[in-house]
Structure 1
C-alpha cells in the first residue's frame, strides 16, 4: 500500500485555500489547513464590514474542498528540521510538504501616536473593532482616513456614502497605482461624496493624537476616529522559524515558489518573495500564486521539475461606495494604462469580481485542477527584471 503524503497549508486565505483545493488532485495526499479563524474572510470586503453592508465572511464548506482538514489554531514556529509545526494551543502538526500562505496584515507605523490612536483595518478583527467604534461615534463627528491606496479609498467612500464627514489624507498621490485618467475619475467621485482629499506635497501624516492628525506642512486635521490604511506588513513566522526572508519578512523563494532554505516548503500569496522580487500584495496575485504553489508541490511529489512563475495582471478594481467604482485596466505586467471603467458600471464590475473570487475557489474545490489563470503568460517583463537584477549584482562597485 502506498504511503500517504501529508501536505499542510499555513493560512486559510485566498492563496492558502486555492493551494489546498488544488493539491487534493492526488488521492495519496492528505491536506490540512491551519488557520486562526473558523470561517473564510473576504478581505476584499472589509471596508463593507466596517460600513455594515456585508459581513465579509464565507463559511469554509463553500470554498474548501471536501476532505481537507481544517485546524483552527495559530502556528507559533515552523520546525523545518523535524517537518513539524508548533501550535499556539500546545499541539503539533507534522508535514511532508508545507505551503506557507500566512498572508498580510497592518504594517507597524513609526508615526508618533498612530499605534495608540489610529485604527488599523487590514484584518477581520481590526475591521470588526473599527465598526464598533464607529457605531459608538456620532455620525457628525469627523473621520480621517490615512492612506490613499485601494483600501483607504474604499473605506473613505463607503463611510462618506453613509453621510459621515470624511477626510482622506493621501501622503502623496491619490491612488498611486491609477493612471491619471482613472485618478481624476476617483477624485470626482470623492467630491460627489463630500470627501475632503488632502494630497500632494505636505499631505503626509506626521503625528496622530486623540482628536487630530498632524501633517508635515503644519496642518492639523480634526479627527474623532482615525483609520490607518497606510501600508501592509506580514507575520514574522518565517523569520521566527529561522527561514530566509526579505526585508519585510516575506519568505524568500526561487521562481517555483520553493523556499531557498528547504525544498519541502513552498510559499504563496502576500507572504511570498520569489527571487526577492515580490508581486503586488493583492487577491489578484494571491490566488494564482496559490495555484502555482500547489503545482510545485504536486510536481515535487511526482518527481518532476516544477514550472516557474509567470504571473499576469488585469489591473485594479476599487469600489467607491455602493453606487460607483472603478476598474483600472493595466498592462499584463501590472502597470496602469489609460483605459478604465467608472461610475455605476465600475461598481457592477467590482462586485462581479468579488463574487468571482469565491466562484474560483469553489470551482477548484469541486473540480481540483480546473483553475487555469496562473498559466496565462505575464510576458517577458519579469524575466527581464530578474536578468537586470542579476546583471547589476555582478557589477563591481567603483572605489
Structure 2
C-alpha cells in the first residue's frame, strides 16, 4: 500500500482553512493544520469584539474538514532542506509539502510612543486586551482611532454608536480604497454618529503619549484611549527560516504560489507575494488563494503543471456600526468604481458577507473542490508581462 503524502498547513486563518479543506478531496493525502489557537478567528469581526457585539471566534468543527488533523501550537522554524517544522513546544512535524498561510498582524508603528501607549487590534488577543480597557474607561473618555482603512473606520463607528467620544485620525485620505462618492457617504455616516474625522495633509501621527496624539501639522489631539489600526505586517517566520521574502516579509512565490526557493513550499493569503505583485490583504483574496494553493500541491503530486493564480475582486465592505454600512463596488482587478450600496442595505450586505465567508469555509470542508465560481481578474497576466517588459528598460536607465 502506498504511503500517504503528508501536507502541513501553517496557519489556520481564512486561507489556511480553505487550503486544508481543499486538500481532503484526494485520497492518500494526510493534512495537518498547525495554528496557535484552538478556535478560528473571524478577523473581519475584531472591531465588533472591541465594541462588545461579537466574540469573533468560531469552533473549528464548523469550518474544518473531519479529515484534517489540528495541532494547536506555533511553528518557530521551517527546515526546507529537511522538510520539517519546529514547534514552540519543542516537537517537530515532517512534511512532503508545506502550505505557508501565516496571515498578517499589526505592523510596528515606527512612531514614538505608539508601541507603549496605543492599542493595536489586528489580532484576537490584542482586541481582547483592549475590550476591558474600554469598559473601564469613563463614557466621556476621549478615544482616538489612528488609521482610516476599513479597520479604523469600523472601529470608530462601532464605538461612536455606543456614544463614545471618538476622533478618527486618517493620516491622509479617509478610506483610501473608496471611490470619492463612497468616501462622501462614509464621511456623512461618521458625522451622523458623532465621529470627528481628521483627514488630509498634516494628519500623520508623529508621536503618541499617555493622553495625547500629536499630528504632523502640530495639533495635539486629547486621547485617553488610543487605538492603532494603521498598517499591517506579516510574521517573520519565512525570513527566519532562510526563505526569500519581499520587503514586507511575505514569502516570494511564482504565479503558481510556489516558493521561488523550494517547489515543496507554497503560500497563500496575506503572507504570499506572487511575482512580487501581491493581492490586497483580506479574506476576499484569502478564500480564493487558499484553494488554489492546495490545487498547486495536488497538481505537483500528480506530476502535472500547476495553473497560474487567478483572483478577482468584487469590492470592499465596511460596517458603520450595527445599523449602517457601505459596499464599495470595484472592477475585478480591485479598482473601485463609482457605484456603492450604503446605509441600512449596506449594513445588511456587510453582515451577509461576514456570515457567508464562514459558510464558504464550512462548504469547502463538506464538499472539497466543488466551489470554483469566484470572479476572476483577466488582466493580471497582461500587467505582469508589461512590468517584465519595462524592467530591462528601467534597469538600463539606472545604469
CA distance in 1, matches of 2:397, 2:182: 41
Alignment partner of 1:37 is 2:37? yes
Q: Residue 383 of structure 2 aligns with which residue?
A: 385
Report the count of equivalent residues.
397
Deviations 1:241-288 (A, max 9, x none): 000000000000000000000000010000000001000001000010
Is the 1:7–1:29 Cα contact (8 Å) retained in structure 2? Answer: yes
Is the 2:158–2:321 Cα contact (8 Å) retained in structure 1? Answer: yes
CA distance in 2, matches of 1:371, 1:118: 41
Secondary structure, counterpart of 2:263 in structure 1: coil
Alignment partner of 1:342 is 2:342? yes
Secondary structure, counterpart of 2:221 in structure 1: strand
Is the 1:291–1:371 Cα contact (8 Å) retained in structure 2? Answer: no
Is the 2:117–2:209 Cα contact (8 Å) retained in structure 1? Answer: yes
Q: Residue 183 of structure 2 aligns with which residue?
A: 183
Secondary structure, counterpart of 1:397 in structure 2: helix
| Match runs of 1:271-310 below 5 Å | 271-310=271-310
CA distance in 1, matches of 2:373, 2:269: 15
CA distance in 1, matches of 2:121, 2:252: 26
Secondary structure, counterpart of 2:8 in structure 1: strand
C-alpha distance 119-398 of structure 1, shift in aligned 2 (>3 A): closer
Alignment partner of 1:130 is 2:139? no
Q: Residue 355 of structure 1 aligns with which residue?
A: 355
CA distance in 2, matches of 1:224, 1:370: 50
CA distance in 1, matches of 2:71, 2:329: 38
Give the C-alpha shift of residue 388 in structure 1.
2.1
Indicate the RMSD between aligned Cα atoms, in angstroms.
0.8
Give the C-alpha shift of residue 398 in structure 1.
5.2
Is the 2:313–2:376 Cα contact (8 Å) retained in structure 1? Answer: no
Q: Residue 15 of structure 2 aligns with which residue?
A: 15
Q: Residue 247 of structure 2 aligns with which residue?
A: 247
Secondary structure, counterpart of 2:292 in structure 1: helix
Q: Which moves more between the two structures, 132-141 or 267-276?
A: 132-141
| Match runs of 1:1-399 below 5 Å | 1-374=1-374, 376-380=375-379, 382-395=380-393, 396-397=396-397
Residue segments in structure 1 that go unaligned for 5+ positions in a row: none
Deviations 1:265-318 (A, max 9, x none): 010000000001000001000010001101101111111111001211000000
CA distance in 1, matches of 2:52, 2:102: 26
CA distance in 2, matches of 1:398, 1:217: 36
CA distance in 2, matches of 1:178, 1:78: 38
CA distance in 2, matches of 1:249, 1:332: 26
Q: Which moves more between the two structures, 318-327 or 362-371?
A: 362-371
CA distance in 1, matches of 2:94, 2:398: 50
Give the C-alpha shift of residue 373 in structure 1.
3.7
Give the C-alpha shift of residue 384 in structure 1.
2.3
Deviations 1:214-254 (A, max 9, x none): 00000000000000000000000000000000000000000
Give the C-alpha shift of residue 387 in structure 1.
1.4
CA distance in 2, matches of 1:235, 1:281: 14
CA distance in 2, matches of 1:263, 1:132: 46
CA distance in 1, matches of 2:376, 2:231: 28
Give the C-alpha shift of residue 5 in structure 1.
0.5
